[in-house]
Amino acid sequence: MPRWVIWVLAGVLLATFLIPSLLPSDDGDRITYTEFIAEVEAGRVDNVTINNGTGEISGEFTDGEAFRTVGGGDRGLSESDEALLDERGVTKEFTTPSNNWFLNILGLMLPVMLIIGFFVWLSRRAQGQMGGVMNVGKSKAKAYDTDRPATKFSDIAGYEGVKTEVTEVVDFLRMPERFKEIGARVPKGILLVGPPGTGKTLFARAVAGEAGVGFLSVTGSDFMEMFVGVGASRVRDLFQQARRMGKAIIFVDEIDSIGRKRGAGLGGGHDEREQTLNQMLSEMDGFETSEGIVIMAATNRPDILDPALLRPGRFDRQIVVPLPEFEERRAILDVHCRDKRVGSDVDLETIARATPGMAGADLANLVNEAALIAVRRGSKEIERIDFENARDRVVLGASRESLILNAEEKRATAYHEGGHALLSTVLPHGDPLHKVTILPRGMALGVTWSLPQERHTYSKEYFEDTVCKAMGGRVAEKVVFGHLNSGAANDLEQATGIARRMVREWGMSERVGPMAWSGQQQVFLGEDLMQSGREYSDDTAKLLDEEISRILTEQENRATELLTKHRRGLELIAEALLEHETIDGPEVARLIQQGMEESGESEPVKLNVMGRSTSSSAS
């Protein structure tokens, strides 16, 4: 019975006894004792009742009307008045009413009940606190039954290769006898590796949904607590809970939070995390695959995991969940647009081509952002312009409409972004230009957006063109205005980073040769803190610095030569930006061609426009 029902019944019972005694009663007219004697002498009183306890007199007149005395008769009838009643023939009755026993008991028990209730409240509060302490070692895993999760492979767009990898896990959980007959052993643990937002958790839920088994979901941080030994206790409880479910999938998200290399970091490591990891390793060795328990984990940092966690017999298999390709992005957009009202002018294939490098979570955010922009615009459908604005907001940052540039800053920004845009168009190996704007977005005063192409390896020429393009803004200001400003800080940082990796990691310097030196490792990755910061001599360090400087200087000179050659095209681009504030790639190519015609240039120039190189020459 719910507790509130008990309180309601107690309240009703109490009201039954108290309310009648508290309500005023209407027992007839109130008359004084003197008036009562006068009525008796007049012969208009028929009967009376005298209360021996209070001396109150009540009765009826001969006409049937009731009355009650007030004052004067509180001590009862005197002998002379009683004789008068007998003389007039008034019927007398003496009563002694009993006290309300419930009110008497309630007055005695109420203080006792309050004291008892106070001690009960203290006891329950203490039990609750002790219960919280005693349950601190329990697993915080979220359990889903066979009906949940309802996610299936059909709900995941693309990733056919990943689906094939995990299908045998589903087959094992459904039909384990097939594997036993041939003597095959299904991996105990499956590690999903991939960038954030690619759907690793979604795949684990889909495996449980396809297999129709229990699903226990927990994050790596759930094992960590301020008390020593809690993490190991929660690991034991998690596996016991899985064994009680029979066939189950244990999914540990962000396993790198507890699975980092042991003995790493300042001070030798983290004892509580290492004890938790040791317990997990022990539990994974303590059950057989025949039990029907499969562990799945997800991480985007497999390089920092402890080797004992990745050895055969624990996480036997690593499945890479990469960023989606074009066809997969197209399918993902279809899924996220399924329940939204999309306009007829929206081409999801074009959007998929224009969003390389975006994960599934990024595409979901893109569609939702487009829907929000459509609502703010007052439209009943999500149109193409909404997707364009959403993509600009996600990739380039929110528009800073409150920032107003003066005429000089706006002109300098136009030439700065015009230099980037011109080099993006005339350089053959870089990414093609998509659009350029001088509207402040994010932390930038202007943005030149190149559209990355689908590629997995990059050539030396690509990086050289990228460094040259990064120098375009700085060089354009120097060519036109003859001075430099601080607006190229981010460009120089990007160019220097690429040049440094070309020399130190990718072997793209002839003087340095086929040698690679990565940057200094972080302490938490398990590297020795006392190890020297670099693995090469001072002479090699000088050579590396010289080569990095050479690449940057050469690409700056190259950018100066190209911008000087296309000076008229640069001026046309800057004028168009000052007038329209935003222009696209084909318009930039047209302005470059117009500038070549006006300057009388006859040498053919290849223009890299929207993913294709076109040869153009002035007439």
Residues 6+ apart with CB under 8 A from 586: 609, 610
What percent helix, strand, coil does the chain show, rounded to 5? 55, 15, 35
**CB-based contact 569:512 (threshold 8 Å):** no
| Stated length of the chain | 619
Q: Catalytic amino acids? A: 417
**CB-based contact 246:294 (threshold 8 Å):** no
Residues 6+ apart with CB under 8 A from 88: 40, 41, 43, 45
Residues 6+ apart with CB under 8 A from 578: 410, 411, 414, 438
284 φ/ψ angles, rounded to the nearest 5 degrees: -70, -30
Residues 6+ apart with CB under 8 A from 380: 341
Strands 315-320 and 189-193, sheet pairing: parallel
CB count in 10 Å sphere of residue 267: 8
CA distance 326 to 363: 12
**CB-based contact 216:142 (threshold 8 Å):** yes
Residues 6+ apart with CB under 8 A from 260: 273, 277, 304, 305, 306, 524, 526
> In terms of Cα–Cα distance, which of 424, 351, 407 is closest to 587?
424
Amino acid at 192: L
Alpha-carbon distances, residue 70 vs 19, 35, 52, 97, 510 (angstroms): 24, 10, 15, 18, 123
Q: What is the torsion angle, in degrees rounded to the nearest 10, for the CA atoms of residue 472, residue 475, residue 481 and residue 482? A: 180
What region does 483 belong to: left with phi over 0, alpha with psi -120 to 50, or beta?
beta
Amino acid at 596: M
**CB-based contact 599:514 (threshold 8 Å):** no
Residues 6+ apart with CB under 8 A from 164: none
